[in-house]
Structure 1
Amino acid sequence: MDTERAIEVLEWWVGKARSASRQAGGVDPRSEAFLELQAREDLTRRVLAGVQGVQELPEILTISMMNDLYWEDSGIRQAEYALGKLRTDDEARSILGSQAPFMKADALHPVIWDAAAKRWDAGHYSDAVQRAATFFNANVQDVTGRRDVSDSELMREVFSLSPPGKSKPRLWWPGYDQDLDVKTMRVGILSMAQGVFSAIRNPATHSTQDLERQEALEQLATLSILARWIDRCELVTIEGAAQLPSASL
């Protein structure tokens, strides 16, 4: 928004509406001043809606039920409030801080946050990420029964796009194999799961430098979304795959 231009539009409206109103209140629709207000009414309403952050355009000139005049008080009050907001917006932001959305760590997937919480609260952020990734790995092992492999190899096996084998079930995004969106999700989960262990768990385990708090939170969030996707995946065994119309991609 062009703040300076918006202020000009609203200041003009306040000044013109005040000078156009009669002592008893109201603007004569036959007056030249009313025609000027009417010509800029739509612009002023749009500016007000933008400042207020609403979709519906506010009413700023309403016809009186008692006579043929138009009431301008509501429009003046709204414009003055909007002017105050525009003029003090920078000051308000400096006092209140950023209004950007924030993410609550304890709202992450419970497998991730329950594992990380104690180390996080102690200020050991790399340890928190490492523990979360370890518990994530254990969760996948529990779901699939695959305890013969772990970490990146486990992810490569269980999210493989190849049909399941004996004692080698798959975790597949649900849907028809021929569906392009389903294929895309399966490929993405496979790549992301392997990448998490290569780029997140391994550095957190072996590095001697602790992660910065923000970076650690972002890594936990990455683990969390992957854990949520896995909750939606279907466990497909060789027996179950044999009953499907098309089990392979």
Structure 2
Amino acid sequence: MTLIDSPSQTTPPQAPPHASAPAAPAAPADAGRAPSAHEQQRTARSEQVNRLRAGVLGANDGIVSVAGLAVGVAGATADITWLLISGLAALVAGALSMAMGEYVSVSTQRDTDNALISRTREDLAAQPEREHDLLVDALSESGIPNDVVESVADSLERHDALDAHTRFRHGVEGDAVVSPWGAAITSLVSFAIGGVIPLVAILASPALWRLPVTMGAVVLALALLGVVSARLGQAQAGRATLRTIAGGLLALLVTYGIGAALGTMIG
């Protein structure tokens, strides 16, 4: 009796572990994801810094601009009516101009940032591997060692790919795009407050004392502004405040000299 061997049942070969395909970069995080507490704090901080910048710039410009114009007119004429008209015109026009300038500037920056975020989102959807390599390059240039940069990039993309690419490659944080209206209103109010100080000083002082009284008011206002802005920004105000005061006084002296010269020529 002969035995007929049955065909041997062999298992298909398995691919070695190292031959597995690399994982694709994670897709951008869901746009509807609720912001974390850290992201909300970062957004509030960015808005606070933007308002502080607009407020300091507006107040400084209001103090120097209104004082310079009023002192220039005072150098040409002692008529209190012209001083009042020119001072109010400078106050209103300057405040509106500052507000519009801040609105346009911040709006342009916000539109640019939003356009960059949109392009990055499209690139992540169309070419995820290429974008991943670019993120790795950006992280390497920032100082992350080569032996861990891939794992760091993968971790960032798994958490929020869009945020990782916009922040570390382009320096733009989507949740920190500030509001132009906040900057405009802050700038308008701060300019008006800053401009009222020298205007009241020059209108309330006698003709012979208008220049020194106004210069004293400007020095005090700029010094106070420097201290307040330094405290709000948690910075040191000494040298920056001195530069601001020196610049304001120089502007007053120049405008007063021009006004006096024009007043002499016209008179």
Task: Settle same-fold status: TM greater than 0.5.
Answer: no
For Structure 1 versus Structure 2, the TM-score category normalised by the shorter chain is under 0.3
TM-score (structure 2 length as normaliser): 0.23
TM-score (structure 1 length as normaliser): 0.24
The higher-RCO structure (CA 8 Å, 6+ apart) is: 2
* Structure number with higher strand proportion: 1
